[in-house]
Amino acid sequence: MPSSSLTLALVQQSDQGSPKANLDDCEAAIRAASIRGANLVLLQELHNGPYFCQTEDPDLFDMAEPIPGPTTERLSALARELELVIVGSLFERRAAGLYHNTAVVIDTDGSLAGIYRKMHVPDAPGYYEKFYFTPGDLDFNPVDTAVGRLGILIGWDQWFPEAARSLALAGAQILLYPSVIGWNPSDASEEQARQLDAWMTIQRGHAIANGLHLAACNRVGFEPASGEATSGTRFWGNSFVCGTQGEILAQADDQSPKLLVTEIDLDRTEQTRRIQPFLRDRRVDAYDDLTLRYRD
Q: For the chain, what is the domain count?
A: 1
Q: Is residue 296 part of a domain?
A: no
pLDDT value, residue 117: 98
In this prediction, residues 262-290 reach a mean pLDDT of 96
Confidence of residue 149 (pLDDT cuts 50, 70, 90): very high
Residue span of the structural domain in which 201 resides? 5-283
Contact 8, 38 (CB under 8 A): yes
- For 204, list phi and psi in degrees, rounded to 5: -60, -35
Opening angle at CA 208, ends 207 and 212, nearest 5: 45
If pLDDT is split at 50, 70 and 90, which confidence band does 3 have?
Answer: low
- On whether residue 218 sits in a domain, the answer given is yes
212-242: b (≥16 Cβ within 10 Å) or e: bbbbbbbbbbebebeeeebebbbbbbbbbbb
Residue 80 makes CB contacts below 8 A (sequence gap 6+) with 108, 109, 110
| Residue pLDDT, tens place only, 187-227 | 999 999 999 999 999 999 999 999 999 999 999 999 998 66
**Could you give the CA distance from residue 143 to residue 171 in angstroms, rounded to a whole number?**
10
Confidence of residue 82 (pLDDT cuts 50, 70, 90): very high
Q: Do residues 174 and 214 touch, judged by C-beta distance below 8 A?
A: yes
Lowest-pLDDT range of 108-117, 204-213, 217-226, 264-273: 217-226
Query: Does residue 97 have a pLDDT over 50?
Result: yes
HEC sequence for the chain: CCCCEEEEEEEECCCCCCHHHHHHHHHHHHHHHHHCCCCEEEECCCCCCCCHHHCCCHHHHHHCECCCCHHHHHHHHHHHHHCCEEEEEEEEEEECCEEEEEEEEECCCCCEEEEEECCCCCEECCEEHHHCCCCCCCCCCCEEECCEEEEECCHHHHHCHHHHHHHHHCCCCEEEEEECCEECCCCCHHHHHHHHHHHHHHHHHHHHHHCCEEEEEECEEEEECCCCCCCEEEEECCCEEECCCCCEEEECCCCCCEEEEEEEECCHHHHHHHHCCCCCCCCHHHCHHHHCCCCC
* Residue 294 maps to a domain: no
Q: Is the pLDDT reported for residue 139 higher than 70?
A: yes
User: Residue 66 — φ and ψ, nearest 5°?
Assistant: -75, 165
* pLDDT for the residue numbered 296: 86
- Give the model's pLDDT for residue 1: 40
Residue 15 maps to a domain:
yes
Tell me how far apart the alpha carbons of residues 144 and 218 are, in angstroms, rounded to a whole number: 23
In whole numbers, what is the pLDDT of the chain averaged over residues?
96
Q: Is residue 288 assigned to a domain?
A: no
pLDDT band at 231 (very low <50, low <70, confident <90, very high): confident
Q: Per-residue pLDDT for 228 more than 90?
A: no
Cα–Cα distance, 41 to 197 (Å, whole number): 25
**With pLDDT > 90 as the criterion, what percentage of the chain qualifies?**
96
Residue 136 lies in a domain: yes
Q: Per-residue confidence at 274, pLDDT binned at 50, 70, 90? A: very high
Report if residue 290 sits inside a domain: no
What is the average pLDDT across 39-65? 97
pLDDT of residue 198: 98
Compute, in degrees rounded to 10, the torsion defined by CA atoms 19, 25, 28, 29: -120
Q: pTM (2 decimals)?
A: 0.96
What CATH number is attached to the domain comprising 223? Answer: 3.60.110.10
Task: Tell whether the model's pLDDT for residue 2 goes beyond 60.
Answer: no
Assigned domain for 76 exists: yes
User: 286 pLDDT band (50/70/90 cuts)?
Assistant: very high
Q: Are the C-beta atoms of residues 160 and 121 closer than 8 Å to each other?
A: no
Phi and psi dihedrals of 180, rounded to 5? -145, 105
Q: So what's the pLDDT on residue 65? A: 98
Is residue 229 predicted with pLDDT exceeding 80?
Answer: no
